[in-house]
Amino acid sequence: MTIELINTGAELLVGRILNTHQQWLCRHLTDLGYEVSRQVCVPDEGSGIQAAVREALERAEVVITTGGLGPTSDDRTRDFIAKLLGRKLVLHPPTQDWITKYFASRKRPMPASVQVQAMIPEGATVLPNPNGTAPGLVIDAGGKCLILLPGPPRELRPMFRDSVVPLLREKFPLATKFLCHTFKTTGLGESVVEEKIAPSLQPLVRQGLEIAYCARIGEVDVRLAARGEKAGELLTQSKEIVTNLLGPVIFGAEDDTLEAVVIRLLTARNKTLAVAESCTGGYIAHRLTNVPGASKVFLGGVLSYSNAVKQKLLGVTAESLRRHGAVSKAVGKEMAEGARRRLHTDYALAVTGIAGPGGGTVKKPVGTAFIALSESKKTVVQLQYSPVDRETFKFVVSQRALDILRNSLLTAAPFAEKVP
Amino acid sequence: MTIELINTGAELLVGRILNTHQQWLCRHLTDLGYEVSRQVCVPDEGSGIQAAVREALERAEVVITTGGLGPTSDDRTRDFIAKLLGRKLVLHPPTQDWITKYFASRKRPMPASVQVQAMIPEGATVLPNPNGTAPGLVIDAGGKCLILLPGPPRELRPMFRDSVVPLLREKFPLATKFLCHTFKTTGLGESVVEEKIAPSLQPLVRQGLEIAYCARIGEVDVRLAARGEKAGELLTQSKEIVTNLLGPVIFGAEDDTLEAVVIRLLTARNKTLAVAESCTGGYIAHRLTNVPGASKVFLGGVLSYSNAVKQKLLGVTAESLRRHGAVSKAVGKEMAEGARRRLHTDYALAVTGIAGPGGGTVKKPVGTAFIALSESKKTVVQLQYSPVDRETFKFVVSQRALDILRNSLLTAAPFAEKVP
């Protein structure tokens, strides 16, 4: 059974938008054990969409389209596909009700145009869209399964999880057992990770284990997969080998983020955190506060972009600033200790550095950062040098800072009892 | 003349990697006046690549492939395409020299496998790769132009700019004049934007003006394009119409971000800014500090996730917290005023709200936010209600906050003289 993906939208082919659907859908379909054999992107006009859908239906059992279900004049996927399949568009009253309620609950006037989203190809099944007004659609096209999903990721993703996955599992059960596991790692490059684990996994690879590495900035994923009768055994054994060889380089699994792991560890240990950010400019706090429940352990912090703020809100001394400069081990240390003291937290992370493109010197070039972690009995400061572009710099420094905290939390005792 | 794009690589179809080539190449080709009519992604095996290239050559004048030119076992694009076209692979001595020199200059041992990159399909033109060892290739395939580019972005992008653009311009000069302009807007939904401008643009559309809308969360792009003799006139007239009808809803053009526009306005007016962030958790500061040069006008701020921090670092009163709660107009106001006073800035933005998923009440449901802007003579507070997921909430609140500041800066007088 193969799946093809069709992304529609002129905005994709004129390059106004990054196609994140491809990665997200391919990733999730692959982890379910399905194979995506081709992805196509066509503009939202009739001949392109219709040709792409027709060709895909000839090759694949399941065809998923994204985009073009909205209310504007260039949202025409529903229309063109209905025409291609010779289906009439008919009113779907429950969708009409939902659209009306959606606008009413937001106290927003409802443009007449949005009602077009309640018109669906005859015989189509509607997938509810709790996060928007365009429903998803499932159409049986001569025995092939055609699934139409809305373009906005915050509508598409929950719809995929809640409606498409159960549908695929029911209609297209896997022929053989399929298991996979993805380790998330940070701190080592892709080739080093591979060198560490590949030799020991070789015997299992000969028995059918599949290994894939995926390097992103500051992270390497190791994905293990196995099919058939021995899948369980292969996966258990290979997971144990990787866990032993990589140890704390592994920070999580599957969709874990480093920030979510840090919040989880802080919560489990009943510890609180503050930050003092200069060169990362709020990025560490932003990442931490993306995690639901962060407010229980993350109390806040100071964005000390200027020296005056470092002194006034964190108690960094004028002497340290004068003698060592704002980007220095001494100032990093004082920032972390100041944040911990003023916010009364168990831990405080501080970063000070030069993100560039301006501001570098011979002794402290662009890409220099000091990362400090203060806890009750000590403050450690690490120097990091990452001469990369500004946004990448902010990410890698925040990644390193969170990882320093994670490693410290790993050695701290887990919180045993609930405080009343 | 149309162009098709083929991205090769198993890693793309298992979703381990985000396909950034599509947006980058489409964007650059479109802005040169060319039309990309289709993009296809296939795994790096023979049948998929060959079928995709064959089909694309039937439809388009120019076909660009990415990936699969390297030295490893899964880099087989060159090979498969040579077979498809019935060309022998022949040694290209200048490329062989370049590869040898490339490794020598980096003092790295040269694996034998890399020499395969000097084998090129007979008759192909080589595009030099100053940033790697795999050259690009241009092949005349029965009058159609097939361009093979390497996968790594830092190799592909300079090669496109330096070799592919001149080649396209020479071989495929535009038949007619081409002009385009993209307005960046915020504050209105896509359908409202369209309703406001589409009727007035209709006469120009009938004369050949192309309009495209691209909605992202919190932003709608309006792209105008025109071709031919009347292109200049059509674009001038349509830009004027859109500018008049949308007014300050337009925050910029082309690649502008709202944060870059805000930093630009602050700099032009010689004004400074501080933030006090609760529910956005550092996201406003993160966005602002992504802009190079932000440190000249953005002095920092306070991440007041907890009430204690609001009181201690911002001077929010216990009485306001008790009487109105942390998420209230009164506390938002005190946060903004406290940040402005303590950081001695011209402006301070503050946000307090409930990002969810927990923490909501009947009177203050998840999605509620108060956004406050304090300036010398007044503080304004706006209530925003966005019942969306946590990360989207943080984005839309930060977007609204930055836009409130932008609108205030627009009415402030531009900075006339340099202060010594």
pLDDT tops 60 at residue A159: yes
Gap between the Cα atoms of B40 and A62, Å rounded: 17
Scanning B86-230, the segments in alpha helix (DSSP H) are 93-105, 153-159, 165-171, 190-206
8 Å CB contact between A310 and A297: no
User: In whole numbers, what is the pLDDT of chain A averaged over residues?
Assistant: 93
The two tokens of residue A363 are 């002794």
Tokens linked to A108: 């927003």
- In B, which residues are within 8 Å of A39 by CB distance? 12-13, 40-41
What average pLDDT does this structure show over B343-355? 97
The answer to whether A312 contacts B342, with C-beta atoms less than 8 Å apart, is: yes
Calpha distance B373→B378 (Å, rounded) = 8
Of residues B219, B215, B216, the one with CA closest to residue B186: B219
**B206 neighbors B165 (Cβ within 8 angstroms):** no
Please tell me which of the candidates B15, B288, B289 has its beta carbon nearest to residue A30.
B15
Closest partner residue to A23 among B18, B212, B294, by Cβ? B18
Q: Round to whole Å and give the CA distance between A299 and A342.
A: 11
ipTM here: 0.85
Please say if the pLDDT value at position B413 is more than 90: no
B214 — contact with chain A (CB < 8 Å)?
Answer: yes
pTM: 0.86
Contact A128, A135 (CB under 8 A): yes
Q: What is the CB-side half-sphere exposure of residue A245 using CA atoms within 13 A? A: 19
Contact between A263 and A293 under an 8 Å Cβ cutoff? The reply is yes
Residues of chain A found within 8 Å of residue B14, distances taken between Cβ atoms: 26-27, 30, 36, 212
Return d(Cα A328, Cα A321) in angstroms, integer.
Answer: 8
Give B-chain residues touching A70 at CB under 8 angstroms.
Answer: 190-191, 215
Instruction: Summarize the confidence of residues B174-195 as an average pLDDT.
Output: 93
Mean pLDDT of A101-106: 90
Angle ∠(A228,A231,A234) on CA atoms, nearest 5:
140
Return the amino acid letter for B304.
Answer: S
Q: Which of A12, A18, A289 sits opposite B282 (nearest CB)?
A: A289
Contact B11/A at CB under 8 A? yes
Model confidence at B218, in pLDDT bands (50, 70, 90)?
very high
What would the two tokens of residue B251 be?
Answer: 């925050």
Is the per-residue pLDDT at A417 higher than 70?
no
- Could you report how far apart the first and last alpha carbons of chain B are, in Å? 56
CATH code, residues B258-411: 3.90.950.20
> For A31, which residue in chain B has the nearest alpha carbon?
B14
How far is it, in rounded angstroms, from Cα A339 to Cα A285? Answer: 13
Alpha-carbon gap, residue A127 to A223, rounded angstroms: 31
Q: DSSP H helical segments within A218-317, as ranges?
A: 231-246, 258-269, 283-289, 307-314
pLDDT at A229: 94
Is some CB atom of chain A closer than 8 A to the CB atom of B193?
no
Q: Residue B28: what residue type?
A: H
How close is the nearest chain A Cα to the Cα of B122, in Å?
29
Contact B328, B371 (CB under 8 A): no
What is the chain A residue with the closest CA to B384? A106
Q: Give the model's pLDDT for residue B417.
A: 47
Check whether B136 has a pLDDT greater than 60. yes
List the Cα angle A128/A134/A137 in 5-degree steps.
60
pLDDT tens, position by position, B97-123 = 999 998 888 788 888 888 889 999 999
Which helix (H) or strand (E) segment holds residue B118: the answer is none
- Split at pLDDT 50, 70, 90, the class of A416 is low
What are the chain A neighbours of B13 within 8 Å (beta carbons)? 26, 30, 36-39
Supply B202's token pair: 């209709």
Task: Give me the pLDDT at residue B418, please.
Answer: 46
Q: What CATH number was assigned to the domain covering residues A178-253?
A: 3.30.70.2860
Tell me what pLDDT residue B152 has: 87
Q: How many CB pairs under 8 A join A and B?
A: 269
For residue B202, give Cα distances in angstroms to A73, A294, B272: 13, 50, 43
Sketch the domain layout of chain A as residue ranges.
2-171, 178-253, 258-411
Angle at B13 between CA B10 and CA B19, to 5 degrees: 95
Q: Is A54 on the interface with B (CB under 8 A)?
A: no
- One-letter amino acid identity for A317? T
pLDDT of A415 > 80? The answer is: no
Mutation target for A interface from B4, B14, B31: give the one with most A CBs within 10 A. B14
**Over the stretch B150-161, which tens digit does the pLDDT of each residue have?**
998 889 999 999
Rounded to 5 degrees, φ, ψ at B238 are -70, -35
Interface check B309 vs A, CB under 8 A? yes
Nearest Cα residue in chain B from A9: B214
Does residue B369 register a pLDDT over 80? yes
Nearest-angstrom CA–CA distance, B136 and B120: 10
Distance (Å) from the alpha carbon of B297 to chain A's nearest alpha carbon? 10
Percent of chain B clearing pLDDT 90 (strictly above): 80
Cα B39-B153-A38 angle, rounded to 5 deg: 30
Non-local CB neighbours of B59 within 8 Å, separated by 6+ positions: B2, B4, B37, B38
Residue among B321, B324, B337, B323 at smallest CA distance from B380? B337
Q: What is the mean pLDDT of chain B?
A: 93
Q: What pLDDT score was predicted for residue B416?
A: 54
Classify residue B172 by burial, with Cβ atoms within 10 Å: 0-12, 13-18, 19+.
middle
The set of residues, in sequence order, having a beta carbon less than 8 Å from that of A197 and lying 6+ positions away, is A211, A222, A241, A242, A245, A246
Give the C-alpha separation, B110 to B117, whole Å: 12
Q: Which residues pair with B185 in a beta bridge?
A: B220, B250
Above 90 in pLDDT, residue B249? yes
Residue range B179-201: average pLDDT? 95
Please indicate whether the domains covering A2-171 and A258-411 agree at the CATH topology level.
no
Please determine, for residue A318, whether its predicted confidence score (pLDDT) is greater than 50.
Answer: yes
Contact B343 A308 (CB under 8 A): yes
Does residue B395 contact residue B218 with C-beta atoms inside 8 Å? yes
How close B51 gets to chain A, by Cα (Å)?
Answer: 11
Q: Distance between CA A382 and CA B189 in Å, rounded?
A: 46
Q: Residue A418 has what pLDDT?
A: 46
Q: Which H or E run includes A322?
A: helix A318-324
Q: Please compute Rg for chain A using Cα positions.
A: 26
The residue whose two tokens read 């930050």 is A275
B17 → chain A, closest CA residue = A23
Confidence at A109, pLDDT banded by 50, 70, 90:
confident
Question: B419: pLDDT confidence band, cut at 50, 70 and 90?
Answer: very low
Give the range among A212-221, A365-374, B201-210, B399-408 with minimum mean pLDDT.
A212-221
Q: Write the DSSP assignment of A370-420 as a string of letters.
A: EEEEEETTEEEEEEEE--S-HHHHHHHHHHHHHHHHHHHHHHSPPP-S---
Looking at residue B105, its pLDDT comes to 84
**Domain B2-171, what fold?**
Molybdenum Cofactor Biosythetic Enzyme; Chain A (3.40.980)
Residues of chain A contacting residue B283, judged by C-beta atoms under 8 Å apart: 282, 286, 289
Q: What percent of chain B has pLDDT over 70?
A: 99
CA gap B317, B311 in Å, rounded: 6
Are A307 and A331 a contacting pair, CB within 8 Å?
Answer: no
Query: Residue B342 and residue B323: Cα distance in Å, rounded?
Result: 24
Can you say whether the dihedral through the CA atoms of B26, B32, B38, B40 is positive or negative?
Answer: negative
Average pLDDT over residues A98-108: 90
Q: DSSP assignment of B260-314, as one string? A: HHHHHHHHHHT--EEEEESTTTTHHHHHHHTSTTGGGTEEEEEE--SHHHHHHHH
CA B294 to each of CA A184, A286, A326: distance values in angstroms, whole numbers, following the listed order = 33, 18, 17
Among B187, B183, B195, residue whose Cα is nearest residue B238: B183
Contact between A263 and A294 under an 8 Å Cβ cutoff? The reply is yes
- B/e letters for A33-69, b = 16+ CB within 10 Å, e = fewer, are bbebbbbbbbbbeeebbbebbebbbeebebbbbbbbb
Q: A75: closest CA among A127, A150, A158, A170?
A: A150
> Which residue, B214, B207, B227, is CA-closest to B182?
B214
Is A300 within 8 Å of chain B by CB? yes
User: Is B188 near chain A, with CB under 8 Å?
Assistant: no
Given a cut of 70, whether residue A420 has pLDDT beyond it is no
